[in-house]
Every structure is written in C-alpha cells, then in structure tokens.
Structure 1
Amino acid sequence: MEKLQVLDITGLSFTSLPLSIELLENLKSLCLDQCRLEDVTIIGKLKGLQFLSFLDSTIARLPKEIGGLTELRFLDLTGCTELKVIEPGMLGNLVNLEELYMENSFDQWEAEDKVPRSNASLAELKNMKNLSTLSIAIPHSVNLLRDLPFGKLNMHKIQIGEVWDCLCMHKESRTLELKLDSSYLLLEEWVQKCLQRAQDLHLGGLQDGNDSIHDLCIEDAEAEDGDEIDDDPKVKSCKLRRLTLRNLPMITSFYKRADYPVDLFDAQQLVFLVTSIIMNSVGYSPFAVNEATSLEAITIERCQLIRKVFDLEGLTTNEEVEILSRLRELTLSDLSSLEYIWNKNPQRASCFQNLRTLKVQNCENLRFLFSSSMAKALKQIKEIEIVSCDKMEEIINVQEEELEEAKSADTLNFPILTFLSLEELPNLRTFSYEKYDIHYPSLTRLTISSCPKMMTFSSSERKQQLMRADIGLQQAFGHINSGLSLPVFFNEKVLFPRLEELKLSSMCRLKRIWHNQLPEESFCKLTSFTVELCENLSHVFPSNSMDRLQSLNKIEVVGCPSLEALFEWVCLSSEKRQTPLVLSALKKIKLWNLPRLRDVLKSDRKVNFKSPCLMEVDVRCCHSLPYLFSSATARSLRKLAILEVSVAITYGA
C-alpha cells in the first residue's frame, strides 16, 4: 500500500479518517466525494498530495493543517454546502494550486484586516501564482480587494453579490455574475480584465442612480493566452457569448462614448452591440464584425427605463457587414418603457440572421415586434413567444417606405419557425396588415390565447381600415352571436403545411376560423385542435375541410356559447350522400359547456359520418344536443373505449 498513488473513497461516513492513511506517502490523488466527514486534519500529513476532492461532501470545517499540502494542484469543494469555516492561512499556503472549485460551497469570507480572524480571507488567493481555474461565490462585495488575481484566469465562474442564479447552470468556460449595489467595482482593473474575457456575463443591481455602465472593456488590454486583440488602440473587443441583465431600474444605456464619431444608438436604450463587435473610429469594419460577433444569448429583465434595444435607424455602411451574427436567443421581460426592439434592417447589413428564439413578456408599451424588413432577415427563427404586452397591436409592422418598396403580392416567409405563441395581448388585432402572404412551412405548434380584439391572423386591409371597422363592431359584440359578418381568422393569405397542434382560446371576436378557399396543403398535418372560451364562434370547421383533416386525432371544444355545430352547413348532391364522410385518425372528442350545440355536422339531408378510430368521447353541459351519434355512426365506433356524458342530452328534440 505504501506505493499507492490514487485513492477514491466515495459515499462513506467518517468521524475521523483512519490514522493509517498517513502511511500512504506516495499518494498523489485523494477523492472523498459524497462523504460525511468531521475531522480531516490527518490529510495534512500527505505532503505529496496533488489532487484533493470533497465534491458534494458533508464537511463543516477545513483545518489549517490542509495548508501543509504545498504540492496540491487541484482542490474541489463544490457542493460542500455545510462548509462554514476555512481556518485562516490555510488557502494562502497552497502556493502551487492551479484549480480551485468552490461553487455552491464556502462563502464566509472575512476582511483581511479583521483582528482576530476566524475564517479565510480573499487576500490568501493572491499567494496562488499558478491559479488558472477558479469557481467562487463572494456574497458581499464590500470586502473585495483591489488587486485580486482574477484577471489572468483561463477559466472561471465568479459570482459576486447576493445569489440569484445557479453557477452550475452556466455552460461557458468564463462566467462572471455580478449583483451589486454600486458600480464602483466595475472600475477595478481585475474586474475590467474579467469582463473583457468573459463569455457569460450576468449583471444586476446597481441601485446607486447611475444611468450607464461605462468601459466594460479596457482599451489597453494586451493579448493573453492566445487571445487576439486588434492593433487599433480605439478598438473595443469582448468575448461575450451570453449576456443577462436584471434589476437595473436606472440604466438607460449600456455604453456611451463621445469619442466615436459613428453614433449607432441613442441615449435611451440598452446597447448590446458594443459588447460583441469591435468598433473603430471610421465606423464598421468587415474584419471587426467577422472577428467578434460572438454573443449568443441576451436576456434583459426588470430594467424600467429602457425604451429601445436595437436602434438601427440611419445605420449605413460602405461594405457588407454582419450584426450580431451569432445571436441565437433574445429574452426580454418586464421592460415597462420598451417601445420597440428594433426599428428597421439597415442597408448592406445582415442583422440577427441566426436568431433562433425570441421571448417577450410584460413589455406593456411595446406596440409591435418587428418591421417587415426585419422579419425577412430572421430566416433562422424557430420559436417566438409573446406574453402580456398590453399595447401590442400587431406582430409585424409594415412601415410606409417598406410598403412602397413591396411588390403587389409580396411574401413573408418564416422557413424554420416551429413554435409560435401569442398570449394575453389585449390590443392585438392581427399578426400583420397590408398585402403580404405569410408562409410558415415548418410551423408545428400555434397557440393564440386571450387576444380579445384579434379577428384575423393576417389582414389584407390597411391598419386604419381595420381599426375603423373594429370601432363599428365594438357595441355589437356586447351581444352573443350578433350576426355581423366578421373577417375569417385564417384566410387564403396564410400557409401552414406542417401545423400539428393548434389552440385558440379566449378570443371573443372570433366567429369563423377557416376560409373556404384555403391553400390545398394548409392544415393537412393537423393532429390536435383546441378551441375554448370563444363566445361568438358559430362552428369550428368549414364544410369543405373534411378531406384535409385526415391526420386529426383530437378535437377539444370548451365554453363556446354560440357554437351550433362542429362542421358548418354541408349541402351534398344525392351521389355524395351515398359516400360516408370520414375522419380516419380521430381518437378523442371533448365537448364541454356548449349550450347551443345541436349538431356535429349540419346538413340538408342525413349524412353518413364515420370515425373508425374514435376511442374516447367526453360530452358535458351540451343541453341542446338532441343525440350524440346517429345509428350509422355508432355502428362504426368499434374502438370506442371511454364514453362520458353528463347533463348533455335533451331527448325528444
């Protein structure tokens, strides 16, 4: 055993480690992961130890004797949540330490000048001249030193301030999370260096009234560890891939400098571009943009003064450039003053062309999501989720100059969009006005909920025309089933060839869902359809839709008091009446609280309707329904396994 070099003891309990362990003079690596430990003093006698891990162990104290392991290169204290004491001087003696992991672990740092000290000080880390990797949490920034050795770390997860995120969730190798009461710390040199090289930056707090966070990247930074820095002294360079900003109530600008003649953004917005591209004194450089557009995710939450995120108005370039070409995720939440995200797509610039996910929530002053030119640029967008934006009237805003440039029948195409959700948008009237056809060749899930003013998904009328018509309908909508002729929700201008799940909820002005002349391939993949709380809906499916619904396996209709039939009136010739109408894949029907429902399918004559795969039927509170199935339909239901009917049928009708 004297020659043993690696010892792994996992998941055991020790009041104290056995005395015989000190005989392992050649031991280089000791793993005590997930152990219950009390006294580990004896480990200090293993003078040749280079690797020591207490991962996820229950340990309350690290004695000063551990500091005698001067050959130690690796120390892992990750997940040691009960570690409250590291005796003074212990860390300072580990002069050869290269990797130190302390996330979700010890955070009881004491000031260096405290007398007497009973716990570790951050000053001890200055003795670790070879330290290259560090994970650490520092809950109180007031005790931070000005000369901490963090600026040259190759890998780090540094959290300063109150914990509001789990560092273990971060995927990047250089993460910096700051939740501060004052911005003074941002001026420290080691913070500047960490900021310049950080790949994942989380910033929150700053309640001291500052309206800007200046100089996130130092101008005179020298290249370190192979990082390339542009020779131009005016160049700003960052390595950011992910950026999260939270709880910054006073911030109006992320970056303001007067010595750059190119003014890309005004003073009333949060500017991300400078954190992920290189700017110089003559404007955009193709080299600079190609080299530094590394930001992949942006999150902004609870920053009440931000009015604009990306102001691209007037941005012109002499050469083709890319703007935030690697940005994949954009999340905006609780921005009460936000008026727009971006206003237009500048000439000769490719903007946000790899954006995959866009989520916007509780931005009460936002009136639209993007312009039509910006919509055309978002070829890689896969998910759009918009929730609780009180003033939003449309998703795509067609600006006057864009309208003049557009062809008579232009198309907006979202080639790989798979998920679209619009919820709690009380003033939303349509996805887009004007003359655009809108194609969603890959969309599989669509949810529209609590959009009470939305009557049509895409309107061929101008915005002013639709709003005037809307005003004329407002009083009539106080009465159920007013009989007014309303726009069709999905008209012939929209194309959904792969849509599988469709949900429409709480849309009081919805009366007709589908146009009778839809494109042939539209909705042919639909498998699940839910409509609920649509008080003016008279029927669900158009009369000619049976053939395109052969993939439909679930229908749910709930709380639609004006609904009279699932399928609108069908007028068939004597020939066609001999052929049964079939929904071959339908497995489940749910019909709840439909007081006027009288027919599944309306027709001038008896129609043979079959659903051979139907397995579950749930009908409740459909008081006007005279019968559920005809005898011919009932004979075809050979797979029916569950039938629930309650307070539903009025006999003798």
Structure 2
Amino acid sequence: MHDVVRAMTITIASEGEHNFMVSHHVNSEEFPRRTSYEHFSHMPIVANKFDELSRPIVCPKLKHLMLKLCFKKPFKLQDNFFNDMGELNVLSLSGYVDSILPFPASIKRLSSLRTLCLSNLRLDDISIIGELVTLEILSIRDSQLEELPMEIGKLTNLIMLELRNENKELERISAGVLSSLVQLEKLYMVGVEYCSYSTLRELESLPRLTSLTLSRCSGDVIYSNLSLSSKLAWYALTVGGAFIVTSSMDDYEKIISLEVTETAQLDDWICHLLKESEFVDSTGDGSNNVLTELQLNEFQNIKCLRLSYCKLVTHLLNISRRIHEVIKFLNLYDLKLESLECLTHFCNTTVEGIEFPRLRKMLFHYLPEFQNFWPTANNSITHSSPLFDEKVCCPRLEELYINGANNISALCSHQLPAAYFSKLETLYVANCGKLRNLMPPSVTRGLLNLQKLEIRDCLSMEEVITKEKQQGEGIMTLFPLLEKLTFTRFLSWGVSF
C-alpha cells in the first residue's frame, strides 16, 4: 500500500497544475526565500523561527497552506498576509499555545476557503471567521478560546464542526450558533465545559446530522425530552461525571457513557441510543434502568459493556420465567463489572446455558456477593457451583480478571475440556477469600497461550492446581509462553502447584 500511495503522490506532483513547496525547520529571518511563489499550489511549512514578513507574498494559485510554528514566542501574521491567496481552499495553522495572536484582517479575502484547521493557538476572538461563508469544515483543537461567538452561526455551509480542547475547556457557545448550522453533518465537541439541555436542544434543528461527539453533558439531559436526528450513524456521548478513554472511540461507532445518579425513568432519546449502542458504560444507582433498556433488545448490539457503582443491581438479566434455552451475547467482546455490591448472579434464574462467542476480556472487580452466572440447587452461603462450567461458553477469552469476589469458591468445573481456555493469555485472581483452588490439571494443560498468571491475597487457597496425577509437569511445560508469574499472601506458604 505504501508503494501505491508513493507512486500516486509522485504522479500528482509531477502534473503542471500541482506544484509543491515543502520547507521544514525554517531558521531564516523571513518566509522561505523564493523569487516567486506564483506556481505553487501546495505549501506545507514547519518553522522553528518565523519573523514577520517585510512584504506580502503573492500566491495566486495556492490551494493548500499548512503553517506549523514550532516555537513558543507569541507571533502575529501581518494583516495583509492572505491578500494574494484568493484561490486557497485549505488552511491549517498550528503551533504552541500563544504561538499566533489574533487573525490578520486579510483572512476575510479567502473567498474560496473550504477547510480551516486551527490547533495549539491563542484565539481570543474568532468572530472574523464568520466572514468565511464558504467554509465547509472548521476544526479548532487545543486552543485558548473561551467562547464560540454568535458570528460562527453565519457559516451556514458548514458540514463539519470540531471543537476539541484537552487543556483549556471552551466555556461558552453563544445561543443560536448550533441551530443556525443547518447543513451540519458532523459535530464533535470535546472539552466544552457545559453541554446543557438548552445547548442540546439546538441540535434538533440539524436534520442532516450523522456523526455526533459530546462530552461533559450535564446530568439532567438523561431525563429531558430531546429529539435528535434519526440519521445518527456514529456517536460518542458522555454525561455527568462519566469518562471515555479517547482511544476507545476508534474501536466503536456508537458509544454512550453515563453517570446515572438518579433512579428516575430515562428519557426516550437516551433509551433509543442505548438500544443502538456498541459501547455502553454506566455508573451510579440508575444503572438498573440502563440494564432494563438493554435487556429489552437482549443486548444484541453491545460489543463492550461496563457497569459500576450501583447498589441496586442484583442480576444483569432478570428473566420473568424459567426458560429452557441458551442465552447468547453474540457481539460482546469486552465485559467489565465493578463495585456492584449486591450482584449475585448474571441471570436471576436457571438457563440451559450462556454463550459469549466473541468475548475477549472479562473483568470482575469488587463483587462481594457474586457467586456465578446463575443460581443452582447447590448455591448457598457455604457452597457455590464453579463460575465456569460446561454450560458457560467463552471460546475466545484472552484476558480474565477477578478481584474482590469473596463468594466464588471454585473457578472451574472438573468437567471442563482441556481446550476450554485455549486462547487465554492473562489470568489475574485477587482478594477472593473463599477460593480454594484455581483449576483442575485437565484445564491447566490447555493454557498453552498463557503469558501472565497472577494470584494475590487469596487467603483460603490451598492449591493452585487440584491434586490429580500431574505426570510431573513443570511450570514451563504447562505454560510454555509464560512471561510473568506472581503469587502473594496465601494462608499457607506450602500451597501446592
């Protein structure tokens, strides 16, 4: 693929109408020295030093200008800098914070500009951008900007608006700006201090909206009536104190992360997004309502499910009657359950089986009452069935983390086939006070891909592998790919392996 791209680039660059000037690490006292710039269509410039021009440059054929300033000194482009760039389509300005001070007035002359990208700049006032009525893409990243002014509402041809600030949050969006951008298809707002209900109401006026990223939405929007575009094919929504790792956004098309502190009924627009979502992260006592909505669709779209800090969840699946069928989570490949103090089982009644055909990662953290996937006749305070038995299917599991599950007394059934955990690479078990052993030898011999094994603070554990005829295998024979092995704080240091 690299050779194809390179060949195409050479072909385009060799054509008469595409002339490039590339200048990196400019140290001169002025703009890169040329007798003429009239033939250049593309000019990417990375500058270590870039003093003000003594005279304007003439670039009548320039289509694309990228100027990156790699120094901290405050800098201002001359007011006439853009005077002779009337054909410019794409403009990218970036640098360190405080690199560039207010825009030159001549930016209003860029009547053909379609794309404007600004990053790591000091932008006290960007109202002049409202004059660029041909703009279709506006991206502002990590720039010191307090307010998106009302003049931005004049950009009625805008298709994409990106406001992404990691360091200093955008404090205000002027009323009426978003609702004026009627052609908008993609809206990304990350690091906007307060996405209130009134701000979100303006999105109802955007019928073409297909991609939406919103962070730091106020918690009340979960219970407020909204009518967003039904065309949303990509969204990432965080509400209240919820948080999404940015890298997760690359793996999923429909993401919703909620801090649900109240137990009131969720609004219809939130319920609709939940049913469509691939990534669902819910924290707080209102997560019970989130589970209810997901169960109405039997979790068919979910790829990643994370639930935490809810005292009201006792089961993930509340089945109203005994069913004789296998429950299937066809798309789930990341499951995280954390600080669910009352969770006892995955299902509230016995089922024929449960399948996770694509599950790669399973994490259980601080589930003090959790026993196994569904209640059986053997479940009691003193004895519980193994967590994994022949009716629980997870053939692609690669990472298993169990921490603080004090009611699990057995991890694996003796009836499991040797290949049950054949894909497992990481096994971490900690603070499981009733766990007496890890697994039988038959299952252990199938852990041919295990790379990390950690067992910490399991005070009742007497043997890692249950006693059977072990045929004298050593640890590296059992786990040929093992890279990390950690055992800490057993009741008896004579624990057998």
Q: Does the pair score TM above 0.5?
A: yes
Which residue does 1:126 correspond to in 2? 108
> Of 432, 438, 442, which residue of structure 2 is paired with 1:540?
438
Q: Is the 8 A contact 1:337 1:364 kept in 2?
A: yes
| 98-107 or 203-212, which deviates more | 203-212
Structure 1 pair 385–211 and aligned structure 2 pair: CA distance change class (3 A):
same
Question: Is 1:393 matched with 2:379?
Answer: no
Equivalent position SS for 2:24: coil
Alpha carbons of structure 1 residues 526 and 61: separation in structure 2 relative to 1, 3 Å: same
Shift of 1:138: 9.1
- 1:99 CA drift (Å): 1.6
1:50-449 to 2 correspondence within 5 Å?
50-51=40-41, 53-63=43-53, 65-78=55-68, 80=70, 82=72, 84-104=75-95, 120-121=103-104, 123-137=105-119, 143-145=125-127, 148-159=130-141, 162=144, 174-177=160-163, 180-184=170-174, 186-188=175-177, 192=179, 194=181, 196-202=183-189, 204-205=191-192, 211-216=198-203, 218=205, 236-246=206-216, 248-249=217-218, 252-253=220-221, 268-269=223-224, 271=226, 274-275=228-229, 277=230, 292-294=231-233, 296-302=234-240, 328-332=253-257, 336-337=261-262, 352=275, 355-360=277-282, 362-363=283-284, 365-367=286-288, 369-371=290-292, 374=295, 376-386=297-307, 388-391=308-311, 393-394=313-314, 396-398=316-318, 403=320, 408-436=323-351, 437-449=353-365
Contact 2:225 2:268 in 1 (8 A): no
Contact map agreement 1:524 1:550 (CA 8 A) in 2: no
Question: Is 2:411 the counterpart of 1:504?
Answer: no
1:201, CA displacement in angstroms? 1.4
Question: Which structure has the higher relative contact order (CA within 8 Å, separation 6+)?
Answer: 2
C-alpha spacing 1:192/1:92, structure 2 compared with 1 (3 Å): farther
1:20-31 matches, within 5 Å, as: 29-31=20-22
Distance 1:149 1:120, change over 3 A: closer
2:24 is aligned to 33
Q: CA deviation at 1:421?
A: 2.8
The separation in 2 between residues aligned to 1:455 and 1:507, in whole angstroms, is 8
In structure 2, do the counterparts of structure 1 residues 426 and 160 end up closer, same or farther at CA, with 3 Å as the change threshold?
Answer: same
User: After superposition, what is the alpha-carbon deviation per residue over 1:257-316, rounded to whole angstroms, capped at 9, x for unaligned?
Assistant: xxxxxxxxxx72485x614x2xxxxxxxxxxxxxx342x231315459xxxxxxxxxxxx
Match of 1:11 in 2: none
Q: Among 371, 392, 397, which residue is 1:494 paired with?
A: 392
Asked if structure 1 preserves the Cα contact closer than 8 Å seen for 2:108 and 2:131, the reply is yes
Quote the Cα distance in structure 2 between the aligned partners of 1:394 and 1:161. 46
Gapped regions of structure 1 (runs ≥ 5): 1-25, 111-118, 165-172, 219-235, 254-266, 278-291, 305-325, 474-483, 571-576, 598-621, 630-653
Name the structure 2 match of 1:513.
411
Q: CA deviation at 1:506?
A: 2.3
Q: Check whether the contact 1:103–1:136 (CA below 8 A) recurs between aligned residues.
A: yes
Q: Which runs of 5+ in 2 are unaligned?
A: 1-16, 147-158, 243-250
SS in 2 for 1:126: helix
SS at match of 1:124: helix
CA distance in 1 between counterparts of 2:120 and 2:181 reads 15
Match in the other structure for 2:366: 450
- C-alpha change, 1:567 and 1:74, in structure 2 (3 Å) is closer
User: Equivalent residue of 1:370, what SS?
Assistant: helix
Q: Deviations over 1:213-243 (max 9, x none)?
A: 333364xxxxxxxxxxxxxxxxx51233241
**Counterpart residue identity of residue 46, structure 1:** S
User: Structure 1 415/154 Cα, relative in aligned 2: closer, same or farther at 3 Å?
Assistant: same
**Closer/same/farther in 2, CA of residues 429 and 131 from structure 1, 3 Å limit:** same
Q: How much identity, in percent, do the aligned residues show?
A: 14
1:445–1:502 Cα contact (<8 Å) kept: yes
State the shift of 1:434 in Å.
Answer: 2.3
Shift in Å, 1:442: 2.4
State the match for 1:592 in structure 2: 487
Cα distance in 1 for partners of 2:465, 2:20 equals 73
Shift of 1:454: 1.7
Distance 1:151 1:297 in 2: 27
Q: Is the 8 A contact 2:60 2:86 kept in 1?
A: yes
| Equivalent position amino acid for 1:199 in 2 | K
* Alignment CA distance shift 1:30-1:408 (3 Å): closer
| Structure 1 position 67, deviation (Å) | 4.7
Shift of 1:513: 2.0
For the residue of structure 2 that corresponds to 1:367, the secondary structure is helix
Name the structure 2 match of 1:612.
Answer: none
Q: Aligned partner of 1:440: which letter? A: F
Offset, 1:130: 0.9
Shift of 1:439: 0.7
Alignment partner, residue 149 of structure 2: none
Shift of 1:440: 0.9
> Residues 75 and 139 from structure 1, CA distance in 2 versus in 1: closer, same or farther, beyond 3 angstroms?
closer
Larger Rg, first or second structure (1 or 2): 1
Computed over aligned residues only, the root mean square deviation of the Cα atoms, in angstroms, reads 4.4
Q: CA deviation at 1:96?
A: 2.8
Q: Deviations over 1:76-118 (max 9, x none)?
A: 11454546221123235533322211144686776xxxxxxxx
Which residue identity lines up with residue 357 of structure 1 in the other structure? F
**Offset at residue 382 of structure 1 (A):** 3.2
Would the aligned equivalents of 2:203 and 2:228 in 1 still touch at CA under 8 Å?
no
Check the 8 A contact 1:412/1:439 in 2, yes or no.
yes
